[in-house]
Amino acid sequence: MIFRLRKQLPAVSADAVAYFATLWGAFGLWSLFGLSPFEGGQWAPHVYGTLVLIGLAVQTVVFLWEGVYTTKGSYLESAAANRILRGLLISPIILLLFSYMFQFVQISKPMLLTAIAMNLVINPVLRSLFGIHDLPDFSSRKRPKKKLIIVGNGVAGECLLRRVIETKSNSYEVVGFLDKSSERVGTQIKTNSKQVRGAVDILGTYDQAGPLFEDNRPDEIWINDLNMPSDQIENLITTCRTNDIDVSIVPSIGQYPAQSLEVEMLDFVPILRPRKVTKLPLYESVKRLIDLAAGLMIGILLLPVTIPIAIMIKRGSEGPVIFKQKRIGTNGKPFMLYKFRSMYTNTNPYGISPSDRTDKRITKIGRFLRKTSLDELPQILNVIKGDMSLVGPRPEMPFIVEQYTDLQRLRLAVKPGITGLWQLSLDRTMPIHENLDYDLYYIHNRSLLLDLTILWRTLFLAMRGI
């Protein structure tokens, strides 16, 4: 544990400074309004010092318990952010219970809520200033990774390679692929992602499995080609048994990859089917109330920002301030999405979106709005109207949705959002429908805590200027 804390000294320091600044700021704010941060109105410097030390110890222990300083999440980064967020929420609750149990000081509950809210902002800011982006994976050092050869490639092979790489705490290392044809031998399977980078050689064909296994000494193979003839699968399994190699079969159904399938056990018989989107009525109702309340509050707070932006857009070029575009929402229902206009009015509203900020279609003020994402602010109106949520898959234009496969249409099962996992990744510059993994993960794991984590991480990245 001491080694891990020493290795993570910048992260521990940032969290400690954030905690100190949070309490100091909450105390100062409370005192500014003539209120006492402690019930009973009595406090002294030594009381404050005791609170700081005990609270810091509680937060450090909770962070260690949550794995904040020890493990690394998937490439989606939601797991790591989720652990930090839980730690920030649990620590003050434990401190409050601790203070009541031992009666060393009675903390004002409203002051504690103020401190929690401040720490949710201060902690990501300081972690950003300390340059803390990722945590080392200590779990991977405990044992060597298994050498893995994947039999079968193409799109399914690339998808599987991405899964192995993104799960940073796994125990596998892909050393190569086998292909049914000799035409691609010597080429590489590459991940189509800026977030998850990897490239592995195609070592040979299925018929060359025996010699290739002897040369590369894999610990395990995964059969990723369900079109392989049964006799060839049996020969491959026999070869693996002879060489003491474990064999696994990765399932898929047509266009549905393994991560979009679910398994039901009928006694000892596994039943495989495409995974359905679970209905969560209570979650959706609570989320709608939060969207409405937060949307109204954000809309009011942003008025001092939106009015000057509207004036600059109007003065910068002819045309309306608000740009409207038809998008596809929940269950395929179309709606009008609002943005601040960032392009000239003679631009095709349904053309390919500019990928370069120097695109001549973009106005001068539009370049600034796109760089800072301020052009997205009017979508708060879509949230208030109920067309969108604060968190969810990005809505796409009708002509793109018309080309969706059945798997891609799963994106339409939930309400689209302003921010989401895709927007927080390096793949946000690539087409949304080509990076379905982010939305599938969100749709099948959505919860209020995940939504809060995404919003919190959005703030964290915004502080880093991303």
150 and 45 inside one domain: no
- In this structure, is residue 377 part of a structural domain? yes
The answer to whether 338 and 379 are in contact (CB under 8 A) is yes
111 and 161 inside one domain: no
318 and 390 inside one domain: yes
User: DSSP of 73-116, one letter per residue?
Assistant: --TT-HHHHHHHHHHHHHHHHHHHHHHHHH-S--B-HHHHHHHH
Q: Number of folded domains in the chain? A: 3
317 and 451 inside one domain: yes
pTM metric for this prediction: 0.70
- In this structure, is residue 205 part of a structural domain? yes
Single out the residue in 129, 163, 188 at which a domain terminates.
129
- In this structure, is residue 139 part of a structural domain? no
Single out the residue in 129, 155, 182 at which a domain terminates.
129
Query: Which pLDDT belongs to residue 292?
Result: 94
Q: Please report, in angstroms and rounded to a whole number, the separation of the first and last CA atoms in the chain.
A: 33
Least Cα distance to 217 among 146, 313, 279, 292 occurs for 146
Note the pLDDT tens digit of each residue in 103-114. 655 666 777 777
Q: Is 271 exposed, middle or buried (0-12, 13-18, 19+ CB in 10 A)?
A: exposed
Q: Helix (H, G, I), strand (E, B), or coil: what is residue 451? A: helix
For the chain, which residues score pLDDT lower than 70? Answer: 1-8, 34, 36-48, 70-80, 99-108, 128-143, 153-156, 167-170, 253-255, 350-352, 354-358, 433-434, 460-466
Query: Which pLDDT belongs to residue 138?
Result: 38
Tokens of 146: 């298994």
Residue 401 belongs to domain spanning = 281-463
Note the pLDDT tens digit of each residue in 228-268. 888 888 888 888 888 899 998 887 766 677 777 888 888 77
Query: Which pLDDT belongs to residue 331?
Result: 92
